[in-house]
Structure 1
Amino acid sequence: MGIIVEKLEKKYESSNGVTLTYLEDPYPVKNAAGERKLLVIFQPVGTEGKEDRYKYPYSLIDGFRFYNCRKIYIKDNFGELGSYYIGLKGETNIYSAVQEFLKKKINEYKILKKDIIFYGGSKGGYASLAHGFDLGVGSIVSAVPQYKLYDYIAKWKPIMFDVFPEVINGSIKAYYNDFLKTKITKGYDKPNVYLITSRKDELYDDHLVPLVETLKENGCVPYVWENNEEYVLRHNKVVENSLNEILAIITMCLADEKIRKFF
């Protein structure tokens, strides 16, 4: 990597006491056209057994370096492997802090919501959808996102049970399983949603299918790209084998409207 991440990281102290760590545009914009657009990147699940520097890595810093736009990489360095940008122990204080931070940066940059793109893979894909619908951004590019959060963590990532309250009952399970659904349902503005997935993803039937149904029920018909090639074996192989498509979609979202007509 051509940049030293730790020297460029910044902190945001939210009004509720949560401190967010983020990286802001390590490869700066080229002109006024780039200054008018914003790409926000959310992280996937952290890596077990690593120190913080490697446990919560930023996604695609060099991969996005040639995009002429503002960029914000938000770190989710809370809990065992992240907080889903929501909170720990049943709290939603991290979610509120992220919302406050993004609203402040959008106002600071004077960027129109239609010119904002949220991107993330897996946990980051979930967060891009939740925060994207809450803020009403222009486009969301979400790769292999979860949908029913409690069911996912209980089955696949029990190490992340610190996201939930210590006492879990039926209403708590329903609250977290419906967290994203509630954001989509209550979202005032309907973003353009691009989903990258695979039928070989273990989460496809239980998460992707009901997610698409919820989006359609709420007036948001997503574009769904499925990578079902032989070399895509499971959930964590989808993003790394679909980067051409992910970059193409984000490029299209950033491009001038005249260019978008060719897609």
Structure 2
Amino acid sequence: MSKTATSSRPVLTGIDTSGAYPVHYRFSHAKSGNRHLVVVFANFSAPDDYGWSNGVLDNVRANILWVRDTFDGQNSYYLCKDMDFELERSVVTLISNVMHSLGLTPDQCTMWGGSKGGSAALYFGLKYGFRNIVSVVPMFRVGTSVQKRPAIADFMMGGQVTDEKVQVLDRVIPDLVQAGANPRANLYLLSSPQDENYSVQVEPFLPLFKNYENFNFVYSDSPFITDHTTVTRRNVPALMGLLNLLVDGIAPRIGFVTNGHEQPDVDRSGIDSYLKSTSQVRESFSAPVVLSPSAGERVPDANVRFAGTAPGAVRLSFWEKGKYVGSPPVAPDGSWSWTRDRAWSKGDHTIRMFAVDAHGFHSPRAEIAFTVTARDSVSFGTEERNPSQEGTAPAPPTISYPAPGQQVTGAEVGVAGYAENAPHVTFAEGGVSLGSVPVAADGSWSWSPGWSWLPGPHTVDCYAVDADGAASRGSGASFHVVTAAESPRAQAPLGYFQ
């Protein structure tokens, strides 16, 4: 079972493929045998498209299911692709499978989310009869909302954004409310007049809830709220208090309620079986085989060449001491070979790796231990240098592309610049080596990573390295990755990154 360190809670990851669309998820078991399930939907800025995954839910006592909103590399409001709502049914199939594996009912579930995730929580909670719904700054007019994000609009509407399709998506949530779907739901909706979307996306629809017996609208009016995104941050403590009340069976209203219902010794075989069957790590997917270097080999060359086989894989993922090292591709016949851009340090190394198939499933782990007997050929910029080298270290490289803070698309982002009196420039992000390139005779250099970056801000630290291995101070290349449809194409200097 694959584990993900999104918080201090043990978290398991998996892919439910029982519907038409594979749905990625993360799951964390309840504390002290609590008998409740919280389903978490993601907003647009959620890391890796898993919402509320930064530890804010650590103290929630319930089982937690994070549902990822990534389908064929794009967001979908958890609703549709090409107006095909089989995507929605795949999502609810995952939720139902987890719920039934835990031996729970819809009355023991809370749908939870903010913004895009708030819309999903409202939609799935009303349509499929889940008892508790917490919707933070939702968008009621989904079609109107996605028109501001052309790539998502194209994905959801099949590449042709028409008024008719926009209206269909605009009605999916209001029609449920107007029809009185799930009238016994405990509904908690939070918004603010400081949210720029409030007057169009929320306020006109509040009267539709008049027949809901426990509809609660939290009108958050504060000078410390400045826009759509700060509404949630301002209300996190209150929201966590509400969530734990719902988990305990207390839906704030007039009347008698009971709480608790923990079962510390409950049979977990159902959920354990489901998690194992949908795990992202597939035991039937063979671990990669390393043919070179051999186990325990003493390698005289610091530029170690790895080679082996991994049938069924499209790429490998290499790690050392918990840090990502590289991801070489696998040929169609299952063969692979890889030499890292920078040399390995002298001494013992243990590399762990796994294979990844075209659907994102992982193989079991393999590892190879070897010893480098040669001296490092290059000293990486983030490593500690001998103080005697400080006076002779080259000047930091200059960055000519991208411009500071430039918006670029993930498929095209490289870095370029100039470095005086240095044969190499090396690169890192967050202390993790990304590679190196030689410097041309005129001092210019350019580097393309060979992968697409995740959306969001990035800073690549660049270091000039001289012939003796002394590295300069770092120069940061900062940029913000957006989808190709969200920003004009970044204009790199002609000839770079070809």
Worse overlay, 57-66 or 197-206: 57-66
Q: How far did residue 257 of structure 1 move?
A: 4.3
- Alignment match of 2:17 (pick from 8, 13, 17): 13
Secondary structure of 2:232's partner?
A: coil
Deviations 1:132-163 (A, max 9, x none): 11121111011000001111222x33342122
The whole-number CA distance in structure 2 between the counterparts of 1:158 and 1:56 is 18
More strand by share: 2
- Alignment match of 2:173 (pick from 170, 176, 180): 180
Q: How far did residue 211 of structure 1 move?
A: 2.9
Secondary structure of 1:250's partner?
A: helix
- Alignment match of 1:75 (pick from 68, 81, 88): 68
In structure 2, the partner of 1:108 is 101
TM-score computed with the length of structure 1 as normaliser: 0.84
- Alignment match of 1:202 (pick from 196, 201, 206): 196
| Stretches of structure 1 lacking an aligned partner (at least 5 in a row) | 48-53
The whole-number CA distance in structure 2 between the counterparts of 1:221 and 1:212 is 13
The whole-number CA distance in structure 2 between the counterparts of 1:93 and 1:187 is 20
| Cα gap change, 1:220 to 1:127, in 2 (>3 Å) | farther
Given residue 160 of structure 1, which amino acid in structure 2 is its aligned partner? I
The whole-number CA distance in structure 2 between the counterparts of 1:119 and 1:103 is 15
| Cα gap change, 1:203 to 1:220, in 2 (>3 Å) | farther
Counterparts of residues 23-172 of structure 1 (less than 5 Å): 23-25=26-28, 28-32=29-33, 34=34, 36-46=35-45, 54-78=47-71, 82-154=75-147, 156-161=148-153, 162-172=155-165
In structure 1, the partner of 2:25 is 22
Aligned positions, number: 249
**Bigger Rg, structure 1 or 2:** 2
| Stretches of structure 2 lacking an aligned partner (at least 5 in a row) | 258-498
The whole-number CA distance in structure 2 between the counterparts of 1:83 and 1:68 is 29
| Cα gap change, 1:12 to 1:21, in 2 (>3 Å) | same
Across the aligned residues of Structure 1 and Structure 2, the Cα RMSD in angstroms comes to 2.7
More helix by share: 1
In structure 2, the partner of 1:191 is 185
Secondary structure of 2:165's partner?
A: helix
The whole-number CA distance in structure 1 between the counterparts of 2:62 and 2:102 is 11
Deviations 1:164-221 (A, max 9, x none): 13334443222111011233326245311101111010111111113322222x5355
Q: How far did residue 116 of structure 1 move?
A: 0.9
| Cα gap change, 1:221 to 1:257, in 2 (>3 Å) | closer
Contact 2:192 2:198 in 1 (8 A): yes
| Cα gap change, 1:186 to 1:80, in 2 (>3 Å) | farther
Given residue 4 of structure 1, which amino acid in structure 2 is its aligned partner? A
In structure 2, the partner of 1:219 is 212
Given residue 108 of structure 1, which amino acid in structure 2 is its aligned partner? S
Given residue 30 of structure 1, which amino acid in structure 2 is its aligned partner? K
Contact 1:80 1:159 in 2 (8 A): no
Q: How far did residue 79 of structure 1 move?
A: 5.7
Identity of aligned residues (%): 18
Q: How far did residue 43 of structure 1 move?
A: 0.4
| Cα gap change, 1:81 to 1:67, in 2 (>3 Å) | same
TM-score computed with the length of structure 2 as normaliser: 0.46
The whole-number CA distance in structure 2 between the counterparts of 1:258 and 1:250 is 9
Q: How far did residue 262 of structure 1 move?
A: 9.9
Secondary structure of 1:82's partner?
A: coil
